[in-house]
């Protein structure tokens, strides 16, 4: 039976592997990335990765589960901290971007879902749909409380989520750029969405 220390080491190494894999998949895609590429980033042999995953497909799947978990964590924290719909939305964007450009990044872009096995694909698509619906609920709450102007919720949600989910594709680790993304990108994405309530208070 594994000790607590051994389990902790396993999880830490697995986390390092998923971050390295996310980096490789974001840069090269599924077909252009091999387990050897991921092992090289970690300074391991490709055979060592089989201790954690059975194949490349499972590695992509685990990267996507991690991405979904972090997105959900950011949204739940924003909902716990926020005062109204707009505040929750801005906090969510900030928290999620902080994860992407900070110590918890890189996070895999979910651009290779068709490469997954059917069971894994269905699970990831359901996670993605659920997250989108939860974000749309934030937008609707903001419209209801007057902090967000009336808009097409589905289209607005897709536009905002698409913008932040693509950050790992073009962000390459520059700390100054990372700080600017956290500080400025949420407000850039929210321009045009400030409702009458916030405009009246300005």
Q: What is the pLDDT of residue 34?
A: 92
What is the distance between the alpha carbons of residues 186 and 82, in angstroms, rounded to a whole number?
14
- pTM of the predicted protein model: 0.91
As its CATH architecture, domain 56-201 has: Orthogonal Bundle (1.10)
pLDDT in tens, the chain (202 residues): 557 777 788 788 899 999 999 999 999 999 999 999 999 999 988 888 888 999 999 999 999 999 999 999 999 999 999 999 999 999 999 999 999 999 999 999 999 899 999 999 999 999 999 999 999 999 999 999 999 999 999 999 999 999 999 999 999 889 999 999 999 999 999 999 997 654 445 4
Q: What is the pLDDT of residue 199?
A: 46
Q: What is the pLDDT of residue 1?
A: 57
Q: What is the pLDDT of residue 4?
A: 72
């Amino acid at each position: 039976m594994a000790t607590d220390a051994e389990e902790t080491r396993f999880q830490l190494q697995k986390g390092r592997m998923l971050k390295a894999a996310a980096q490789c998949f974001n840069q090269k895609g599924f077909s252009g990335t091999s387990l050897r590429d991921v092992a090289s980033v970690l300074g391991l042999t490709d055979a060592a990765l089989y201790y954690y995953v059975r194949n490349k497909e499972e590695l992509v799947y685990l990267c996507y589960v991690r991405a979904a978990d972090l997105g959900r964590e950011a949204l739940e924290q924003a909902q716990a901290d926020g005062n109204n719909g707009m505040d929750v939305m801005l906090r969510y964007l900030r928290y999620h971007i902080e994860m992407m450009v900070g110590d918890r990044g890189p996070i895999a872009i979910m651009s290779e879902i068709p490469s997954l096995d059917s069971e894994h694909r269905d699970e990831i698509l359901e996670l993605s749909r659920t997250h989108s619906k939860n974000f749309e609920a934030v937008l609707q709450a903001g419209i209801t409380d007057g902090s967000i102007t009336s808009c097409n919720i589905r289209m607005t949600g897709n536009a905002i989520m698409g913008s932040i989910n693509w950050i790992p594709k073009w962000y390459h680790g520059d700390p100054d750029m990372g700080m600017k993304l956290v500080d400025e990108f949420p407000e850039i994405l929210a321009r045009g969405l400030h409702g009458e309530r916030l405009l009246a208070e300005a």
